[in-house]
A and B are shown apart, each in its own frame.
Chain A
Amino acid sequence: MTERHGEPGPTGDTAAQSATAPAALRFSHVGKRFPDGTVAVTDVNLEVGNGEFVSVVGPSGCGKSTLLRLAAALTRVTEGSVEVRAGTLGYVFQDPTLLPWRSVRKNVELLAELERMPKAERRQRAVEAIKLVGLSGFERHRPRALSGGMRMRVSLARSLVLRPDLFLFDEPFGAVDEITRERLNDELLQLFLARRFAALFVTHSVSEAVFLATRVIVMSPRPGRVLGDFPIPFDYPRQPQLRFSDDFAHVAARVSRCLRDPEV
Chain B
Amino acid sequence: MTASGEAVDRVRATTAIGTRQVRGRGGRWLGYWGPPAVVFVLFLGAWYLFSYVVLDADRRFLLPPPQAVIKVAFLDPDNRSQLLSALGLSTSVALAGLVVSIVIGMATAILMSQARWIERSVYPYAVILQCIPTLALVPLIGFWFEFGYSSRVIVCILISLFPIISSTFFGLQSADQEQHDLFTLRGAGRVTRLRKLQLPAAMPAVFTGFQVSATLAVVGAIVGDFFFKQGDAGIGILIDLYRARLQTEQLFGAVILACLLGVVVFWFFGFLTRRVVGGWYAAYNPPS
> Among the listed A72, A114, A142, A143, which residue makes an inter-chain contact with B188, where contact means beta carbons less than 8 Å apart?
A114
In the complex, A145→B3 CA distance in Å? 14
Instruction: Using CB atoms and an 8 Å cutoff, list the residues of chain A in contact with chain B.
Output: 72, 74, 89, 91, 93-95, 97, 99-101, 110-111, 113-115, 132-135, 137-138, 142-145, 147, 149-150, 153, 187, 190
Q: Is the CB of A137 within 8 A of B182?
A: no
- CB neighbours (8 Å) of A143 from chain B are 280
Contacts A99-B179, A99-B200, A114-B192: A147 and B277 contacting too (C-beta < 8 A)? no
Q: Is the CB of B1 within 8 A of A137?
A: no
| Closest 7 pairs between A and B when the two form their complex, measured CB to CB | A114-B186, A100-B280, A134-B2, A97-B178, A101-B280, A134-B3, A93-B178
Q: Is the CB of B279 within 8 A of A147?
A: no
Q: Is the CB of A134 within 8 A of B179?
A: no
In the complex, A78→B190 CA distance in Å? 27
User: Can you sample 25 A-B contacts with CB below 8 Å?
Assistant: A72-B185, A74-B184, A89-B185, A91-B181, A91-B185, A93-B181, A93-B182, A94-B178, A97-B179, A97-B182, A99-B201, A100-B280, A101-B200, A101-B203, A101-B277, A114-B186, A114-B187, A114-B196, A133-B3, A134-B1, A134-B2, A143-B280, A144-B280, A147-B9, A149-B3
Least Cβ–Cβ distance between A98 and chain B, in angstroms: 9
Contacts A99-B197, A133-B1: A149 and B280 contacting too (C-beta < 8 A)? no
- CB neighbours (8 Å) of A144 from chain B are 280, 282, 285
> Among the listed B6, B176, B182, which residue makes an inter-chain contact with A91, where contact means beta carbons less than 8 Å apart?
B182
In the complex, A114→B197 CA distance in Å? 11
> Among the listed B4, B186, B279, which residue makes an inter-chain contact with A115, where contact means beta carbons less than 8 Å apart?
B186
- CB neighbours (8 Å) of A187 from chain B are 1
Q: Is the CB of A150 within 8 A of B3?
A: yes
In the complex, A133→B4 CA distance in Å? 11
- CB neighbours (8 Å) of A74 from chain B are 181, 184-185
- CB neighbours (8 Å) of A110 from chain B are 182, 196
Least Cβ–Cβ distance between A25 and chain B, in angstroms: 15
In the complex, A101→B201 CA distance in Å? 8
> Among the listed A114, A134, A142, A150, which residue makes an inter-chain contact with B279, where contact means beta carbons less than 8 Å apart?
A142
